[in-house]
Amino acid sequence: MTLLDGKKTSEAILQEIAHEVQAIKANGGKVPHLAAVLVGNDGGSVTYVNNKVLACDRIGFGSSLIRYEDTVTEQELLQKIQELNEDDNVDGFIVQLPLPKHINAEKVIESIDPRKDVDGFHPTNVGRMVAGLNAYLPATPAGILQLLQRYDIQTSGKHCVVIGRSNIVGSPMSILMSKAAYPGNATVTLCHRNTNNLAYHTRQADIIISAVGIPGLVTADMVKDGAVVIDVGTTRVQDASRKSGYRLRGDVDFDAVAPKCSFITPVPGGVGPLTIAMLMQNTLRAAKKEVYG
Ligand code: GUN
């Protein structure tokens, strides 16, 4: 069993990007700039966005963090997005999800200029991805592809079972794994909350990618010997022994499942760190005008 070390892989990617930023600076080019919009004080979201800004600092990107109370109106938010769309210094920006209920997240996402949509959430980027055109890929699925690639994991002709159909992970992951590309070329089954007999499907899987946020959902009896298991779940569960009062748990019952696997991601330190690296990669591509010219 090999652990898929997301931290190490992410560090390697961030190093590559940092070198490229140095070269851009040396040549007098535009230093990539990422802006992040954060609404409210959700613990997970605050941590994610802070880590994104810290990553920018580390690799030499410019960054701006724009924070609002969760009482912000949709109108105010749309106004800010308009400003960011028009700001030539901002190459890409994200609006951290989830948003408060009184704000229409779809409307917010659709108001982002697709050329600056480094999350890859705008329908234009989603459509381009589905059609196999150059697009910003959403960070978590793109990070998983990087892990598969950098550990030289074979995917062609394999049976990949994705659990979860979110717009952010499950749905794009299922599409990317089915593409005639590497990593990809897999036969894909997409399971979700209405799937009958989930274990029947996962037992056939050469590759399991779980992104549902149910701690311990994937148990040892659901996994075939030699499977590759990718765990996207990061649910905060109470843990009085930690200073923070919580720890992160994945969708996979790691201790029981790991011995059966050829490769498996830990939680934390698996997929999580890759998402930041891929957001940085998208921002670099935005600054270089690689996707839309
Ligand atoms: N919430 C959970 N994951 C993400 C992400 O990748 N981007 C944004 N903007 N919000 C998220």
Q: How far is the CA of 48 from the centre of ligand 1 (A)?
A: 8
116 lies in the same domain as 144: no
Let me know whether 144 and 231 are in one domain.
Answer: yes
Rg of the Cα atoms in the chain? 19
**Residue 223, helix vs strand vs coil:** coil
Structural domain ending residue among the three candidates 121, 152, 184: 121
List strand residue ranges (DSSP E) for 69-167, in order: 92-95, 159-163
98 alpha carbon – ligand 1 mean position (Å): 8
Q: Order across the sheet with 62-68: list the strands.
A: 62-68, 33-39, 92-95
Residue 150 included in any domain: yes
Is residue 31 domain-shared with residue 67, that is, in the same domain?
yes
Q: In the structure, what pLDDT confidence band is assigned to residue 258 with cuts at 50, 70 and 90?
A: very high
Three-state DSSP class for residue 226: coil
Ligand 1 atom with least separation from CA of 275: 6
The phi and psi torsions of 163 (rounded to 5 degrees) equal -110, 120
- Whether residue 200 is found in the same domain as residue 242: yes
* 153 and 104 within one domain: no
Alpha-carbon distance values, 254 to 192, 216, 258 (Å): 20, 8, 5
Average pLDDT in the 48-53 region?
Answer: 97
The per-residue pLDDT for range 5-16, each reduced to its tens digit, is 999 999 999 999
Answer yes or no: is pLDDT of 273 > 90. Answer: yes
First to last CA, the chain: 43
Q: Do 223 and 105 belong together in one domain?
A: no
Has residue 9 been placed in a domain? no
8 Å CB contact between 276 and 15: no
Instruction: Provide the pLDDT for residue 251.
Output: 98
pLDDT at 268: 97
Judge if 150 and 263 occupy the same domain: yes
- Indicate if 216 and 176 belong to the same structural domain: yes
The count of domains in the chain is 2
Note the pLDDT tens digit of each residue in 75-115: 999 999 999 999 999 999 999 999 999 999 999 999 999 99
State the CATH number of the domain containing residue 78: 3.40.50.10860
Q: Would residue 222 count as lying in a domain?
A: yes
Give yes or no: 225 in active site: no
Q: Whose CA is nearest to atom 11 of ligand 1?
A: 97
Indicate which CATH number applies to the domain containing 149: 3.40.50.720
Q: How far apart are CA 254 and CA 126, in angstroms?
A: 32
* Residue 80 annotated to the active site: no
Residues 66, 147, single domain; the answer is no
Sheet of strand 159-163: strand arrangement: 2-3, 263-264, 228-231, 207-210, 159-163, 187-191
d(CA 70, CA 40): 4
Residue nearest ligand 1's atom 1 by CA: 97
Is residue 129 one of the residues assigned to a domain?
Answer: no
Instruction: Please tell me the pTM assigned to this model.
Output: 0.97
Domain-located, residue 66:
yes
Mean pLDDT, rounded, for 170-198: 98
Ligand 1: which of 97, 99, 278 to mutate, judged by most atoms within 8 Å of the beta carbon? Answer: 97
Tokens matching residue 266: 């830990």
For position 293, what pLDDT does the model report? 87
Do 31 and 105 lie in a common domain?
yes
- For residues 231 and 152, state if they share a domain: yes
For residue 9, the model assigns a pLDDT of: 98
Q: Which domain holds residue 226?
A: 139-273
Q: Could you tell me which of 253, 246, 256, 249 has the C-alpha nearest to residue 233?
A: 249
Q: How many residues does the chain have?
A: 293
SS3 of residue 67 by DSSP? strand
In a domain, 204, yes or no: yes
The reply to whether 255 falls in a domain is yes
> Which one from 80, 91, 96, 253 is the annotated catalytic residue?
96
Nearest to 96 by CA among 141, 147, 129, 51: 51
Tokens of 113: 């200029």
| Residues 153 and 62 both lie in one domain | no
CA proximity to 268, closest of 228, 226, 237? 237
Whether residue 12 lies inside any domain: the answer is no
Of the pLDDT bands very low, low, confident and very high (cuts 50, 70, 90), residue 290 is: very high
Taking residues 123-130, what's their average pLDDT?
98
Q: What average pLDDT is seen over the chain?
A: 98
